Structure 1
Amino acid sequence: MTSIHDSTIGDAFARTGEFLTGNPMVRADADMRHVLDAQVELGAKSLEACLPAEARRQPTLEDAVRKVLERAGREPDDQGVDIDDIVITGPEGEISARIYRSRMMDATATPPMILYIHDGGWIVGSPEKCDATPRALAKKTGAVVVSPAYRLAPEHKFPAAHDDCYAVWLWLIEEGASLGGDPGKAAVVGEGAGANIAINISLQAHAERVAMPVHQVLIHPIAGVDMSTPSYVENMRARPIGTPTMQWFFRHLLESRAETADPRLNLVERTDFKGLPPATLVIAEIDPLRSEGELLGEALHKQGVSVDVRFYEGVTQGFFGLGSVVNKAMFAQSHVANNLVEAFAASRRKI
């Protein structure tokens, strides 16, 4: 297992400030704070203060990035990527999906494919609102990226989102060529709740002996249900996602507390990772999910899965797509893209 910490000068001063104030946000890098402050200026409420429908209308970090760029006199960059919308048949009806293709794609080669699964705690988020990461991945890897609009809770309780995304994976490996990509070289990438779904796709595909991803990218995954871990305690007041927000997500996701024992949610206690594809695991410092992400990395490594763990200090949950204004997001995107390109070059999908 490789593990890299991206540190900043002044961490000791930041931790002293946190100790004195009880506020984890004193550890945030300046460019991360600019985005978070812009989100507040746009009127964003804490999600746990909202009903789900209102929460889905709140300004996002991507909205905040646009405000930061506007202040700097810069226009948002489409990254040379075109989008199309399609419909896929799912387990309970149609699933809309957004397709990303780089305009710089080599017309003489068949590109690899990525199934990207957005964050939002299974309650909020959509391909339209979670656009930056799949756009960056399409540009940096040359892959055809598929971003599904899976069903959200509380209207559709657990495991509806998992079922939808697994159905999209099965469609991709069978029909992905219709999008001009090579389904034999397909990876999964997820953020937060989407990362939880991504690794569950690998697990279910392995169990059912269907084609697995050639690589899995797990960006600050929801990997456990224990909210007494060190990072949950430290980041009670973190923005944009603190401990109360995570509690709100699970309250709306589940029919009953008994479902927290489901191994699809409590990944850190699983013992069946052996045989899964290599993984890149991205962890953010200012995030309630940090501790369980670290535990997941250890579990994958101990069970024989090749895992590259990258720890980014000074950033929060949701940072990965902010590469146009947050330096560590740009670094993280480049590292993930490099790992994906290497996986596409070296691997065919395995059963």
Structure 2
Amino acid sequence: MPTPDTHGQPNPLVNAVSNAVAALRADDDMLDLAEAHESLQPKAIEKLSVAEARQQPTIADAVRTLLQREGRSAAPELLVPGVRTTDIQVDGAAGPLPATVYTPQGNGPLPVVLYFHGGGWVIANRHVYDGGARGLSAQAGAIVVSVDYRQAPEHRFPAAWDDALAAWRWLTLNAGQLGGDPARLALAGESAGGNLAVATAVAARDAGLPAPRHVVSVYPVAQTSLNTESYIENAIAKPLNRAMVKWFVDHLVNNENELQDTRLQLIDADLTRLPPVTIINARLDPLRSDGAKLEDALRAAGNAVERREYEGVAHEFFGAAAVLHKAREAQAYAGERLRQAWAGDAGVAAAVGG
């Protein structure tokens, strides 16, 4: 009798407990999405090689599965009408980077957001995070440029941060060619990308580059301790757990000393003179405390910051607006905050960058 393949399978007991906790705490539509993801039989990323991890079903795959079950189209252009896409290349720190430009309806020049996807700096790409970037374009009435930065372990820390800054430099010089307004630029990102968005605002200030008008940071990594309140509370949560974050970081850094680098340990960075920041968190997420700590650090440094925490949803919820009510709320909130930034005093960006 053949031996079943148990490589990378989640621990059955831990899996059962995780599902039971989610059933008590998660919204009904979040549970439906989690069940759809479970039906795709994802393995435990922390037990896999990088190549295997990159092949695992994503929450975006689960969204498509759920839509198909409901008899709805999963075509992005139908889910978010009025946003067209074009693939381009932007300048990275070591060569060109692929990017997707999302352009909403409207008379230009339009504001422009540089967007960084999640995936722990190791897995995923801009296509996996299409839902967040596309939704933000529609809600903010802005062109969104979602860029694929170099990933670890092939390109370890700080390659992604170097690419993010290079992409920002490129955008400040080329926004007009995209139909954008160079005076109304912003940064945004999810998870690892939420970290990159804030870190790039810091790096742009230090490099004397034009400042973004706003930063939207969705469930960012903001510090490197795995012992925060939410890491302990959501240690076995899905789709992100404590062991998985350690796996990402182990593949990212060259040595443990880099865990104290303020591009990773953002809460210890010089956060003065930054643009207003919006932080979005999920309650059922190991990274929830990172967002709270970043909010406190930004406020202590004298910045304008707002943070919203969404109950009943988990990490990766933001891009699932096609099936999650809270994701639609969060995208609308992020869009509203960006629209407020576009409408604000044009001198704010220059003052912050000075």
Unaligned stretches of 5+ residues in structure 2: 1-16
Letter in 1 for 2:246: Q
Partner in structure 1 of residue 88 of structure 2: 86
* Aligned mate of 1:345, from 322, 343, 346: 343
Equivalent residue runs for 1:1-351 within 5 Å: 24-25=21-22, 26-76=24-74, 77-78=76-77, 79-80=80-81, 81-102=83-104, 104-106=105-107, 109-270=108-269, 272-348=270-346, 349-350=349-350, 351=353
CA shift for structure 1 position 166: 0.8
Question: Residue 185 of structure 1: SS of its match in structure 2?
Answer: strand
Letter in 1 for 2:87: D
Question: Residue 312 of structure 2: SS of its match in structure 1?
Answer: strand
Q: Distance in 2 between matches of 1:92 and 1:301?
A: 34
CA shift for structure 1 position 269: 2.4
Deviations 1:134-154 (A, max 9, x none): 111111222111011110100
Q: Distance in 2 between matches of 1:347 and 1:112?
A: 14
Higher relative contact order (CA 8 A, sep 6+): 1
Letter in 1 for 2:257: A
Question: Residue 310 of structure 1: SS of its match in structure 2?
Answer: strand
Give the number of equivalent residue pairs.
Answer: 328
2:219–2:279 CA contact under 8 A, matched in 1: yes
Letter in 1 for 2:110: P
Question: Residue 180 of structure 2: SS of its match in structure 1?
Answer: coil
Q: Distance in 2 between matches of 1:176 and 1:44?
A: 39
CA shift for structure 1 position 175: 1.1
Q: Percent identity?
A: 39
Q: What root-mean-square deviation, in Å, do the aligned CA atoms of Structure 1 and Structure 2 show?
A: 1.5
TM, length-normalised to structure 2: 0.90
Letter in 2 for 1:52: V
Unaligned stretches of 5+ residues in structure 1: 1-20
Deviations 1:249-303 (A, max 9, x none): 0010011111101011111223x21210001111111111111211110111121
Question: Residue 307 of structure 2: SS of its match in structure 1?
Answer: strand
Question: Residue 227 of structure 2: SS of its match in structure 1?
Answer: coil
Q: Distance in 2 between matches of 1:60 and 1:147?
A: 18
CA shift for structure 1 position 347: 4.2
1:116–1:148 CA contact under 8 A, matched in 2: yes
Letter in 1 for 2:102: Y
1:24–1:286 CA contact under 8 A, matched in 2: no
Question: Residue 110 of structure 2: SS of its match in structure 1?
Answer: coil
Deviations 1:94-128 (A, max 9, x none): 111111112x222xx31000001000000011112
Q: Distance in 2 between matches of 1:211 and 1:347?
A: 16
Q: Distance in 2 between matches of 1:89 and 1:205?
A: 15
1:123–1:153 CA contact under 8 A, matched in 2: yes
Letter in 2 for 1:36: A
TM, length-normalised to structure 1: 0.90
CA shift for structure 1 position 92: 1.1
Q: Distance in 2 between matches of 1:98 and 1:55?
A: 23
